[in-house]
Amino acid sequence: MNAKQYFKGKKETAKKVERLQKDFIQKQAEYKRRQEKLKKAKVKLKTEIPLQNGVIVEVDKMERGSSAFIQNEQGNVAMEEGSYPLASGKIMVIKPDGVLFDVIEDQEAKSKALKFNRIKNLLKK
């Protein structure tokens, strides 16, 4: 290998390193832009439901078996068992440990709540 070939190889290597550095800097800038977008985007993971009395209930999803919480000074607290009237006029029925049992229309509410309470009382015996 002569000197001319040696230096030609060095120049090519230097150009490759330069290209890699530019690619890295571009990727890094793109990553930072995406991180900033994510910080600005507020993702709502829970559904907030207002009760008739104005208290906001948080549920994972509006479906049977989801966890239901009320926010207070101590953080999220599981709702107590019972029936809760919603601002929409529907009634939310909560099982023990804050598990959503059902959301029912007002007309159905009384009969379903009665059935739920009967079943609950039978299970306690």
Q: Do 22 and 38 share a structural domain?
A: yes
Same domain, 52 and 19: no
Residue 67 sits in the same domain as residue 95: yes
Residue 23 pLDDT grade (very low, low, confident, very high; cuts 50, 70, 90): very high
Query: What is the helix (H) or strand (E) element at residue 109, kind and residue range?
Result: helix 106-124
Please tell me the predicted confidence (pLDDT) of residue 11. Answer: 83
**Residues 53 and 66 placed together within one structural domain of the fold:** yes
Q: 3-class SS at 12?
A: helix
- Say if CB 32 and CB 18 are below 8 A apart: no
As a whole number of angstroms, the distance between CA 9 and CA 84 comes to 78
Backbone angles phi, psi at 90, to 5 degrees: -85, 170
Residues 25, 74 within the same domain = no
21 pLDDT higher than 80: yes
Q: How many domains, in total, are found in the chain?
A: 2
Print the domain residue range for 85: 47-124
85 & 51 share domain: yes
